[in-house]
Amino acid sequence: MHKFGSTQKKIMLIFLGGLALGTSSSPRQYFRNLRLIRKEWKNIDQRTFNHSIARLSEEKLLEEKILPNGSFKLILTKEGRRQAEILSILGSSIKFNKPKRWDKKWRIVVFDIPEKDRIFRNILRGHLRDLEFYKLQNSVFVSPYPFEKSILELVEVYSAGKYVRVIVATNIDNEKTIKNYFFRRKK
């Protein structure tokens, strides 16, 4: 993953937001997204903006297209879009409503992510902690809640499917300890 300054992050997310405008399903959603983009755009200093655009272009995350009338437009490259999606995920934690009743199944996330991808490994661990997964081992986490779809989406964005497994199980040998962690009465 690229290292971005705060202005570069805003630019990447604003460009990703531009993509969201094109896929807005209703006028209300379109104008809501447009207001959010305009607000962020106004907060960027012009000199910093120019330097950030040049840097993102050098890193092949943005591409400058010259139009027939002599003007130009900036677009996200394929890698730029991927990086912007990663930033979008990093900027927000996975949201999920816990069901009222437990379905008696454990969701186990097991991963063996190489050192060269430690940034993603740390991001994944962070999301698992935010979702209150119970840590069985350094790379094994368990939850009674059906987060598997959200976790798999995160893994897909990082192209890390070969390193992460999500298992749905009906029992675990130390289940009593884990149930205590999740279902103890709050006083």
pLDDT tens for each residue of 118-129: 777 887 887 888
CA distance 52 to 46: 10
Q: Which residue has the higher pLDDT, 141 or 1?
A: 141
Q: What token pair was written down for 108?
A: 């186990």
pLDDT classification of 98: cutoffs 50, 70, 90: confident
pLDDT greater than 60 at residue 164: yes
Q: What values do phi and psi take at 170, rounded to 5?
A: -100, -20
CA distance 141 to 50: 44
Residue pair 147/93 in contact (Cβ under 8 Å)? The answer is: no
CA distance 30 to 23: 8
Q: Tell me, what's the pLDDT at 187?
A: 44
CA distance 57 to 62: 5
CA distance 99 to 146: 8
Instruction: Look at residue 125 and give its three-state secondary structure.
Output: helix
DSSP 131: T
Tell whether pTM > 0.85. Answer: no
pLDDT classification of 179: cutoffs 50, 70, 90: very high
Whole-number percent of the chain with pLDDT over 90: 20
**Closest of 86, 25, 97 to residue 33, by C-alpha:** 25
pLDDT greater than 60 at residue 184: yes
Q: Which domains does the chain have, with CATH numbers?
A: 6-91 (1.10.10.10), 106-183 (3.30.70)
